[in-house]
């Protein structure tokens, strides 16, 4: 009867008794400290958006982004994942110690344990309980554990280098957006200056039309030009707002809660780089290339792990515990006088300790080709990793060469536009003076003004392109040009 009551209760408990579920949106404890300085899970108080005051410099923007960008934080957690897997691999070297217990109810009596010596009375029971502490220590695994540890170490190093690359890419994106915003600010200033100049020219033209010194069609052309500059100004201001939102996103901030004010300048200094010298250095210091090499070496270890499946496993196994019952019967196996059948007498609880120690050998004789298929899988993955490394090698060469060409091209553009700006400003001054003296046409003034605006816009954007090209070359080199 007790058995029939226990079974439904056990079924009910196994179905309903579960541990509390993990809340997917609850804050996770902070990062484990790594070899490389990790970003913070949440921004410290001094960089909370609502507490930022004054204009932000480029270095300050980079600092906030590294501390608060979600992608960098996610990559840092993945470094923790690789570290945890490494700890798991290392734990396989140590012995395992477990407790194993069970309770069994039989329909018919069974011996509690086998006889240990001749003529020993046997103990019979319908219920047994066991409890053992089991020790297992791997002695020989064909190199599987060692290679798994080494593979995990290489993956952990690869994740650290991937974190470094993620940070470098974030820094480049902040640089690029920051300089684009600064360039856009200069363009907007040029548009506002041109609009102010054209409005001033229009006021003069109105007076000239009133005294018949200028044609009404010239005033109409000026109005069209003013309207064109106004709509262009609105367009460029909208572009600036979008760029600021992109920068706030990179910094992990809510743009609506933190109005960005930036401080800095678009500096220029002529630079000359040699591709032949930069490419080998890039291959030595690029974190993603180092990570790819480490993943390749880790995959080679995975091949060795798979091959270890062909070898035997030797383990040291030991157990110590108890065997007992609540009620048992004693059966005397010794011959009874007159050939009588042995009788059993019920007695109270009985418990006895027991232990064992030994070695086990597991040798795969036939696995249906599973081990060979696993080896083939890992070897194929190794070939894929080799090709990806070769692809990254070619990609790095291309990125360095392209970045060097961009720096050279933007340098020449800046130098050319520096001269063109002075000429455009002087041309506008002369054409405006000629028109005011009645010796020129309004079309010449409008053309000169448009040429100056285009030249100034191109100049500021060329400055931004130069700074971005230098940052892209730094990224292609692995974050270091020196």
Expressed in percent and rounded to 5, the helix, strand and coil fractions of the chain are: 60, 15, 25
User: Under a CB-based contact definition with an 8 Å cutoff, are residues 111 and 122 in contact?
Assistant: yes
Domain map (residue ranges) of the chain: 55-94+142-311+370-482, 97-140+313-362
User: Under a CB-based contact definition with an 8 Å cutoff, are residues 333 and 344 in contact?
Assistant: no
Identify the CA nearest to 473 among candidates 400, 412, 411, 414: 400
Provide the CA 139 distance to its chain's centre, in angstroms. 38
- For the stretch 7-16, pLDDT in tens is 555 555 555 5
- 18: confidence class by pLDDT, cuts 50, 70, 90: low
Question: How confident is the model at residue 319, as a pLDDT?
Answer: 92
For 99: left if phi > 0, alpha if psi spans -120 to 50, otherwise beta; the answer is beta
Distances (CA, A) of 19 to 14, 22, 255: 11, 9, 41
Residue range 124-138: average pLDDT?
89
Identify the CA nearest to 205 among candidates 191, 232, 224: 224
Provide the β-strand partners of residue 41.
none
- 306: confidence class by pLDDT, cuts 50, 70, 90: very high
Residue range 186-209: average pLDDT?
83
> Other CB atoms closer than 10 Å to residue 31's CB: what's the count?
15
Maximum distance among all alpha carbons in the chain? 154
Provide the β-strand partners of residue 105.
127
∠6-7-9 over CA atoms, to 5°?
Answer: 65
32: pLDDT strictly greater than 60 = no
How much is the mean pLDDT over the chain?
Answer: 82
- Give kind and range of the element (H or E) at residue 301: helix 287-307
CATH number corresponding to 55-94+142-311+370-482: 1.20.1600.10
Question: How confident is the model at residue 339, as a pLDDT?
Answer: 44
Distances (CA, A) of 1 to 107, 108, 132: 12, 15, 28
Q: What is the DSSP letter of 338?
A: G
Residue range 109-130: average pLDDT?
77
Which spans in 25-143 are helix H? 58-68, 70-91
> Other CB atoms closer than 10 Å to residue 359's CB: what's the count?
11
Encode burial over 431-443: b for 16+ CB neighbours within 10 A, e otherwise.
bbeebbeeebebe
Rounded distance between C-alpha atoms, residue 115 and residue 132, angstroms = 20
Identify the CA nearest to 450 among candidates 188, 229, 211: 229
User: Under a CB-based contact definition with an 8 Å cutoff, are residues 461 and 179 in contact?
Assistant: no
Residue range 201-223: average pLDDT?
78
> Which one is predicted more confidently, 401 or 18?
401
Q: Residue 215, exposed/middle/buried by CB under 10 A (0-12, 13-18, 19+)? A: middle
Rounded distance between C-alpha atoms, residue 160 and residue 32, angstroms = 13
Question: How confident is the model at residue 340, as a pLDDT?
Answer: 45
Rounded distance between C-alpha atoms, residue 163 and residue 14, angstroms = 43
> Other CB atoms closer than 10 Å to residue 157's CB: what's the count?
21
Distances (CA, A) of 361 to 139, 325, 439: 10, 33, 107
DSSP, collapsed to helix, strand or coil, labels residue 438 as coil
User: Under a CB-based contact definition with an 8 Å cutoff, are residues 360 and 317 in contact?
Assistant: yes
- For the stretch 409-457, pLDDT in tens is 999 999 999 889 888 888 888 887 887 777 777 777 788 888 888 888 8
Residue range 383-409: average pLDDT?
94
- 359: confidence class by pLDDT, cuts 50, 70, 90: very high
Which spans in 18-69 are helix H? 58-68
Identify the CA nearest to 470 among candidates 393, 419, 405, 396: 405
């Amino acid at each position: 009867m007790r058995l029939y009551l226990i079974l439904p209760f056990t079924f009910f408990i196994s179905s309903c008794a579960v541990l509390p579920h993990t809340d997917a949106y609850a804050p996770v404890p902070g990062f484990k400290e790594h070899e490389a300085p990790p970003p913070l899970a949440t921004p410290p108080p001094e960089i909370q958006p609502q507490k930022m005051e004054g204009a932000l410099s480029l270095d300050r923007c980079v600092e906030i982004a590294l501390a608060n960008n979600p992608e960098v934080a996610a990559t840092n957690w993945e470094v923790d994942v690789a570290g945890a897997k490494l700890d798991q691999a290392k734990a396989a070297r140590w012995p395992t110690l477990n407790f194993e217990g069970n309770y069994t109810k039989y329909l018919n009596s069974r011996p509690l344990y086998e006889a240990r010596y001749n003529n020993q009375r046997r103990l019979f029971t319908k219920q047994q309980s066991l409890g053992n502490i089991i020790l297992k220590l791997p002695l020989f695994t064909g190199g599987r554990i060692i290679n798994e540890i080494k593979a995990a170490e290489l993956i952990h190093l690869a994740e650290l280098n991937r974190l470094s690359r993620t940070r470098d890419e974030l820094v480049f994106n902040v640089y690029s957006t920051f300089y684009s915003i600064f360039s856009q600010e200069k363009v907007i200033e040029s548009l506002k200056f041109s609009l102010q100049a054209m409005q001033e020219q229009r006021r003069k033209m109105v007076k000239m039309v009133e005294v018949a010194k200028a044609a009404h069609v010239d005033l109409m052309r000026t109005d069209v030009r003013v309207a064109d500059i106004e709509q262009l100004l609105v367009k460029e201001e909208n572009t600036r707002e979008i760029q600021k939102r992109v920068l706030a996103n990179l910094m992990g901030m809510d743009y609506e809660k933190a109005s960005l004010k930036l401080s800095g300048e678009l500096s220029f200094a002529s630079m000359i780089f040699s591709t032949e010298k930069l490419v080998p250095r890039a291959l030595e210091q690029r974190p993603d290339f180092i990570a790819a090499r480490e993943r390749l070496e880790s995959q080679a270890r995975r091949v060795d792990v798979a091959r270890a499946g062909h070898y035997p496993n030797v383990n040291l196994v030991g157990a110590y515990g108890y065997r007992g019952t609540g009620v048992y019967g004693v059966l005397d196996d010794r011959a009874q006088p007159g050939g009588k059948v042995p009788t059993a007498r019920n007695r109270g609880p009985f418990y006895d300790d027991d232990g064992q120690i030994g070695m086990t050998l597991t040798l795969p004789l036939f696995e249906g080709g599973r081990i060979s298929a696993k080896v083939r899988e890992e070897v194929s993955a190794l070939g894929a990793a080799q090709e990806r490394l070769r692809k990254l090698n070619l990609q790095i060469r291309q990125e360095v060469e392209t970045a060097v060409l961009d720096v050279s091209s933007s340098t020449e553009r800046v130098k050319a536009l520096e001269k063109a700006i002075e000429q455009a400003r002087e041309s506008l001054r002369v054409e405006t003076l000629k028109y005011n003296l009645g010796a020129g046409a309004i079309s010449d003034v409008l053309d000169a003004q448009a040429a100056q605006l285009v030249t100034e816009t191109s100049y500021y954007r060329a400055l931004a392109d130069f700074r971005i090209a230098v940052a892209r070359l730094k990224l292609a080199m692995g974050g270091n040009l020196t």
